[in-house]
Amino acid sequence: MSDTIRFLGTGGGRVSVANQLRRSGGTLFEVKDTKVLLDPGPGCMVCLADVEPKIDPQSINGAILSHCHIDHSNDVNILIDAMTVGGRRTRGTLFATADSLRGDGSVVLSYVQPFLSDIVDLEPLSSYQVDDFKFQTSARHSHPHETYGLIIPHELGRLGYVVDTKATDEVIDSYSGCDALVMNVVLSESIVLPPGVRGATPRHLTIESAAAVLEKVRPRRAVITHFGATVIEMGPERVARDIATRSGIPVIAAEDGMILSFGELLE
């Protein structure tokens, strides 16, 4: 079978995930016989069980947490438990940011960590491998908490996966040379919180900034995913068309359960 990317869930951000406007189970890469799950968010285990044929967690070789936010990491503990049969089979590799693994902000329970064969800290602009799946990290994203996107150097070309971030020059430059880009487009437009409202201004891609990323990187095609409520309200297809018109790059709106081959994206 050809190498694929399966969008288990395409929802992102608080309102979208809280109301399950789209599923939020993350993204599964299958390269040769290696399966790697990026960002097992809420409902990941349901998504794995709910496809035909079911995906056996014991067939998953590794997981990646791009950052610790709950829509990216909620199911990581049960996933590790399931991958390792509650620790009875030591196996699997977890790649995660240091703040996801240790200290007050840790999201990976200390008792499941020894179940894994290997735990690897993600660093900026570094190369990693688990079995047949190789990837590099981007520059550190502009997002609350340590966050990295991926660049996958496949035999057909380079696939970039731009997770949550504001589009800064340093972040965008680290994806240069990518032949296809998947992008988390959480917002339709940037939000400025009114005075007195608690919290920081969200640092996410918008229609405008996603188009700016594509204009700079110039991949052959792009996929948008991880939609927040404003994008879902507008319609991800319409948002994809808008970004394509602005950038001149073909854009696909991911759907829950959608499987794309590396060939379709990179050739």
Q: Is 39 in the site for Zn ion (CB under 5 A)?
A: no
Which residues share a beta bridge with 64?
38, 95
Tell me how many residues contact Zn ion (CB under 5 A).
Answer: 2
- Which two three-digit tokens encode residue 163? 């997770």
Among 164, 174, 211, 236, binds Zn ion (CB under 5 A): 164
Amino acid at 171: V
Q: Cis omega before residue 53 (within 30°)?
A: yes
Stretch that binds Zn ion, among 32-40, 164-172, 185-193, 259-267 (CB under 5 A): 164-172
Q: Is 69 in the site for Zn ion (CB under 5 A)?
A: yes
Specify the residue, 147 or 247, whose C-beta has the smaller distance to Zn ion: 147
Q: Rule CB under 5 A: say whether 203 interacts with Zn ion.
A: no
Task: Rule CB under 5 A: say whether 146 interacts with Zn ion.
Answer: no
Q: Residue 100 to residues 77, 85, 89: CA-CA distances in angstroms?
A: 12, 22, 23
Which residue stretch of 24-32, 162-170, 183-191, 225-233 sits at the interface with Zn ion (rule: CB under 5 A)?
162-170
Q: Please state whether beta strands 259-261 and 62-64 pair in parallel, antiparallel, or not at all (unpaired).
A: unpaired
Residue 55: count other Cβ atoms within 10 Å of its Cβ.
Answer: 19
In the bound state with Zn ion, the residue whose beta carbon lies nearer, of 61 and 100, is 100
Q: Residue length, the chain?
A: 267
- Does 35 interact with Zn ion (rule: CB under 5 A)? no
Q: Which residues bind Zn ion (CB under 5 A)?
A: 69, 164
